[in-house]
Amino acid sequence: MSAHQVEGNNINSDWWQWEQEKVVGRQYPVEPSGVACDFYHRYEEDFELCRKLNNNAIRFSIEWARIQPGSDTFDQAAIDHYKKILTAARKRGLKTFVTLHHFTNPVWFARQGGWRNANVINVFGRYARRCAVEFGSLVDAFITINEPQVYALMAFLAGLWPPNQKSPLSSFQVQFNMAAAHRHAYDRIKEVTETPVGLAKNIVWYETDPYRHRVHDRIAAGLLNFLETDFYLRPIAKKLDFIGLNFYFTHRIRNFRFHDPTDYVSDLGWWVHPGGLGTILKNLKKYHLPIYVTENGVADGHDILRAHFIRDMVIACGAAIHEENVDLRGYFHWSLLDNYEWHHGYGPKFGLVEVDRERDLDRKPRRSFEYYAEICRENRIVVEE
């Protein structure tokens, strides 16, 4: 989970501010996040769901805009609240993987230029160190930044996320600033604790059509795979204790265009291809670092594909471990709850648990919840009924 998507009323963030704007003719965001899933108050209930899932770990984020509502202000009440959340997870036997930045920023930070500001490295480092001081004893792993390239592309190139820019230069600047901020945050956290520190990197796999491909397609796929992986990970590899991999889909290239199969797709039209996950895991082995799949899920409102998806993806993980000797330490399914899916609003359903928005946000475990719970209990793939 991530804070803005599930907590609700994240009023000090740039994303919340963007949601409140009324712009004629603007398509996104589809709707405001509002109360979201009210995880901020219902975390005990949701951790009980994790226990019923037979999980032994939970990944969620600390909201920077709550922790540091002003440039020179840290909110001790918000800090203490997150300590309660972390303690509640620990009491249920859940290891805690905590993300420090998951797309949203404090309003004051955004007004100072956000991730384009040259001083962002020191600003983020200060925040990261404070989190290490306050939460270090309750955290099993810190993830500094979630999907830095996705954030840079969506907010500064595609213009779909705040601050809604379409500037290739700004997009590259933000990517480099986030890489530098990660390295600095790593050092600042290590001043305080030996808790492992990593980064969650979304990686799309690009492959050529196995039946109809040409040299230029292979070159294009190779370049895109380099930009998705090594371009970003190599410069920061010495400041990583582990790699977090977020994987959702593969693109198949033919004549410089995407020609993805349509037989196994999510509600968002993303092609489900477990082979892509296996190939990426094998490719990451060269970094000689532990790997966690920190996100992997499917938008499936009718819960038709999700059990098959989980089965196929976990098989791909097992094959990577046992056939390719990949040092894969864990798998986090995205997501526990149906949540606020950024500019798409509440349309896409990624949750193992439905959140009934018409009935007081009631939690309703889906059939796939039971299937995944059995896998987690048995620690092996089970045959579906």
Which 8-state DSSP code applies to residue 270? Answer: P
Give CA–CA dist 307/90, Å, rounded: 28
Assign residue 310 the CATH number of its domain: 3.20.20.80
pLDDT digits (tens, 9 = 90+) for 200-227: 999 999 999 888 768 999 999 999 999 9
Which 8-state DSSP code applies to residue 272? Answer: P
3-state secondary structure of 265: strand
User: Is the residue at 141 inside a domain?
Assistant: yes
Q: What is the pLDDT of residue 214?
A: 86
User: Tokens 């309003």 appear where?
Assistant: 107
Q: Is the dihedral of CA 371, 377, 380, 385 positive or negative?
A: negative
Q: What is the mean pLDDT of residues 232-247?
A: 98
User: Is the residue at 323 inside a domain?
Assistant: yes
Q: Is the dihedral of CA 88, 94, 95, 96 positive or negative?
A: negative
Q: What is the mean pLDDT of residues 67-71?
A: 97
User: Is the residue at 383 inside a domain?
Assistant: no
**Under 8 Å CB-to-CB from 79, ≥6 apart: which residues?**
67, 134
Q: Which residue has the higher pLDDT, 80 or 118?
A: 80
Cα angle 117, 60, 195; round to 5: 80
383 pLDDT tier (thresholds 50, 70, 90) = low
User: Tokens 């993300």 appear where?
Assistant: 99
362 pLDDT tier (thresholds 50, 70, 90) = very high
User: Domain containing 96: what range?
Assistant: 3-378
385 pLDDT tier (thresholds 50, 70, 90) = very low
Q: What is the mean pLDDT of residues 108-134?
A: 97
User: Is the residue at 47 inside a domain?
Assistant: yes
Q: Is the pLDDT of residue 46 over 60?
A: yes
283, with CB counted inside 10 A (0-12, 13-18, 19+), is middle
Q: What is the pLDDT of residue 23?
A: 83
Mean pLDDT of the chain: 96
User: Is the residue at 369 inside a domain?
Assistant: yes
Q: What is the pLDDT of residue 303?
A: 98
357 pLDDT tier (thresholds 50, 70, 90) = very high
Q: What is the pLDDT of residue 384?
A: 55
- Distance from the Cα of residue 74 to its chain's centroid: 25
Q: What is the pLDDT of residue 24?
A: 80
Domains: count for the chain? 1
pLDDT digits (tens, 9 = 90+) for 260-272: 999 999 999 999 9
| 81-89 contacts, C-beta under 8 A, 24 or more apart | 81/40, 82/134, 82/135, 83/134, 83/135, 83/138, 85/43, 85/60, 86/135, 86/138, 86/139, 87/138, 88/43, 88/44, 88/47, 89/47, 89/50, 89/58
280 pLDDT tier (thresholds 50, 70, 90) = very high
pLDDT digits (tens, 9 = 90+) for 169-194: 999 999 999 999 999 999 999 999 99
Give CA–CA dist 290/284, Å, rounded: 10
User: Is the residue at 384 inside a domain?
Assistant: no
